[in-house]
Homo-oligomer: A and B are copies of this chain.
Amino acid sequence: MPVNLVAPDPAALYPVAGVELGFAEAGIRKAHRRDLMLMHLAPGTRVAGVFTQNSFAAAPVQVCRRHLGAGAAIRALVVNAGNANCGTGERGLKAAEASCAAVAKLVGCASTEVLPFSTGVILEHLPIDRIEAALPRCVASLGADHWADAAAAIMTTDTVSKGVSVRQSIGGRNVTVTGIAKGVGMLQPNMATMLAYVATDAAVAADALHQLVRQVADVSFNRVTVDGDTSTNDSFILIATGAAGGAEITVDHPDFAALRSAVERVAIPLAQAIARDGEGATKFITVQVEAAADADEALRVARGIANSPLVKTAFFASDPNLGRLLMAIGNAGVPDLDTSRVNLWLGDVQVIESGGRAASYVEADGARVMAPDEITVRVSLGRGGAGTTVWTCDFSYDYVKINAEYRT
């Protein structure tokens, strides 16, 4: 059960001028479900992306990096669910290139102008013939108002589809930002893949788009964790069609901050949606770290808390288990941490004060703030001015059940 998350209302996912989406049943892993998605982009569209840091980056990730690195225009994205095309060697790279070539032929562009994405089982070869056979149906179904269908077609083990859309006036022009993502569910193990696509009709300079995708990733998708395991296929793609018109927004442009804010308003709830729909999640947890010496140690402490199995099982049990929080902070490898300056709050209740149990703390307050399905942990390290926020979910029986089930 996702935590306070429902599938988006299709009418609330605004079209982005210059973007059309299609989908089809390709039968990649299971029959009778949409598992292929095509995104067609108008000429002049700019695309930037960030990808997994896993050494076993999947074949489509390698091809994406190559096509984006070559500086070609990007005219289409093709995404399949059910097979990750990872650990598949040369044959996998050829399959990813073949899917690009098939799309290119259908939409009339160069195959280097297509980006491929895969999500699903690792170490199995991509059934490229089924993708080629289904692509004409994807093209036939292309439409500007198909964002909700596209969000559903890229799901693997997600329990609900994920999409967010905002409209905002930037520099006197109405700009739309719409995004979809799939998350880290494992009803069919090996599917721990995060894919996210955010498109805007704003006109954005190439450099600015590259900086924007990194800056936004750092405050959204890179701040989510379910179990600390980085998948081989993670990709976040930012698309700017320019259809809204006006001069291109550069990094130094006064509208850059407004644009970043609009993209964050889409990316952050999408990122949170992944934690809300984490494997077996019953709680949505926000971990805030403040007064760190630098951003790096803030993130280490936040992830240390968010990834500790002992902390996560305590959240599942609604148990204000303060010792485990203390352990997780102390375990984060902060050099020369003066524990007597550490303070910690669960919701509005201070539970740790100067490195020990807060004098004012009573167990009943802890139990009260741990009961709801959304909980905030706030830590102050007393070392400096840096901070960060990480979102995660708890660790339930269902996490083990979902991940221990055989790959059927």
Contact = CB atoms under 8 A, between A and B. Distances in A.
Interface string A324-358: 10111111101001011000000000001011110
A218 interface: no
A329 B357 CA distance: 39
Contacts of A231: 327
B406 A330 contact: no
A52 to B, nearest CB: 8
A323 B395 CA distance: 22
B326 A232 contact: yes
Nearest to A323: B122
A321 interface: yes
A26 B88 CA distance: 61
A339 B55 contact: yes
Contact of A321 (B87, B190, B308, B332): B190
B331 A230 contact: yes
A7 to B, nearest CB: 26
Contacts of A219: none
A192 interface: yes
B400 A396 contact: yes
Interface string A177-213: 0000000001001101000000000000000000000
A228 interface: yes
Q: Which of A89, A124, A327, A356 has the most CB of B within 10 A?
A: A327
A317 B55 contact: no
When all copies of this chain in the complex are counted, the total is 2
A60 to B, nearest CB: 15
Given A189-B310, A321-B189, A406-B317, A327 B122 contact: yes
Among A322, A332, A401, residue most surrounded by chain B Cβ atoms (within 10 Å): A322
Interface in A227-286: 227-232
A321 to B, nearest CB: 6
A56 B339 contact: yes
Interface in A299-322: 308-310, 313-314, 316-317, 319, 321-322
Contacts of A192: 310, 327
Contacts of A397: 397, 400-401
Contact of A316 (B87, B124, B340, B400): B400
B330 A56 contact: yes
A86 interface: yes
A345 to B, nearest CB: 15
A32 interface: no
A123 B353 CA distance: 11
A86 B314 contact: no
Given A314-B189, A356-B88, A55 B323 contact: no
A209 to B, nearest CB: 28
A405 interface: yes
A84 interface: yes
A19 to B, nearest CB: 31
A4 interface: no
A168 interface: no
A389 interface: no
Contacts of A87: 322-323, 326, 339, 352, 355-357
21 contacts: A55-B331, A87-B339, A88-B356, A122-B323, A123-B352, A186-B310, A190-B323, A190-B324, A192-B310, A227-B308, A227-B309, A228-B309, A229-B328, A232-B327, A309-B309, A309-B399, A316-B400, A319-B404, A319-B407, A396-B400, A397-B401
Given A87-B326, A317-B403, A321-B407, 7 more contacts: A54-B327, A56-B329, A87-B355, A124-B357, A189-B319, A316-B400, A395-B400
Interface of A: 54-57, 84, 86-89, 121-124, 186, 189-190, 192, 227-232, 308-310, 313-314, 316-317, 319, 321-324, 326-332, 334, 337, 339-340, 352, 354-357, 395-397, 399-401, 403-407
